[in-house]
Amino acid sequence: ALAGRFGRTWAHAAAPLWHARIRATLHLGAASVALGLLAYVFARALPNEFSVGWESQLIKTPEGAHQLLGLLFLPVSSLPGLPGVAPFTLEEITRMHHWAGSNAAMADRWLLMLSALLVLGVALPRLLLWGWQSHRARRLARRFPLDLADPYFARLVADGSGQRWRLVVWPYALALDAARTAALAGQATEVLGGGETALTVQPGLAYGDAPQAAARRPAATEGELMACAALLSLSATPEAETHGAFLQRLAQSLGPQLLVLLDAGAFTARLGRGERLREREALWREFLRPLGLQRVHVVDLGA
């Protein structure tokens, strides 16, 4: 479980760097294909003399071939000041039908236009993109993208600076009496990974209440690091229109670092611990994944 969690966390943190490296490799590969094709054409041109013409089963008239070639070479023929890349005229296309009017000058012009198309339309843009993505990958490698707002790093800061945690909890469809509040306060330190922890319980919502009524993040006091959590009952079956709406509202207000606490007290009191508990926990985690909520903790606040 620890190795799996580390792998997921590392993959999430390293994803921007991996994406930059993969994009750089793909751009360089595309440029290499274009330049390799161009090198092959010129290598074949050394011992051979090219002729140029056209035949087609689908394009029956020179007008059709003229329109197709005009569209194909438009990126280079429209560039100002580039000699030798003027588009073929309809008369030239007509003469080249069935290779009847081919000559060395037309072949040279075709080779120049093809070279310009590969270099300006493929190789040069891809090399520029490769340079940008390579620069981005080197920058990300030097400054690895870590979310320093994550509670792990915040906990390191708290341990070294003497600050303490405050866990702010929004219950949903769950009544917190004095005993359950005390149990949650006792487990808050474990949820946040250690350090002195205070607990603040916000007014909860009853089942089916409008999620717009959820409170916003309170202001943090000096010397405190704040973590926000939604508290729900593990015994409830997750529903998109109720639990999902509540969690989405909180996540929009409080950010993606929202904790989700699942109280297993009532569930274990009725069904005990075992396979049923693991199945219900897996059901909730699967429900929370599309919402982007991955920080899930199961707590036991008693029956």
pLDDT in tens, 146-183: 766 566 676 666 666 566 778 899 999 988 888 999 99
CA distance 98 to 186: 88
Alpha carbon of 162 to those of 184, 188, 225: distances in Å? 23, 18, 11
| pLDDT of 214 strictly over 60 | no
Work out whether the CA dihedral 269, 271, 275, 278 comes out positive or negative. Answer: negative
The confidence score (pLDDT) of residue 274 equals 83
Query: Can you tell me the mean pLDDT for 90-106?
Result: 83
The confidence score (pLDDT) of residue 197 equals 80
pLDDT in tens, 232-247: 999 999 999 999 999 9
The confidence score (pLDDT) of residue 52 equals 86
pLDDT in tens, 251-278: 888 877 789 999 999 898 888 888 899 9
pLDDT band at 25 (very low <50, low <70, confident <90, very high): very high
The confidence score (pLDDT) of residue 230 equals 92
Work out whether the CA dihedral 6, 11, 12, 18 comes out positive or negative. Answer: positive
Mean pLDDT of the chain: 86
- 251 versus 81: the higher-pLDDT residue is 251
For the ranges 73-82, 150-159, 187-196, the lowest mean pLDDT is seen at 150-159
The confidence score (pLDDT) of residue 106 equals 85
Helix (H, G, I), strand (E, B) or coil at 71: helix
Residue 33: phi and psi, rounded to 5, are -65, -45
CA distance 106 to 96: 9
Query: What residues form DSSP beta bridges with 170?
Result: 230
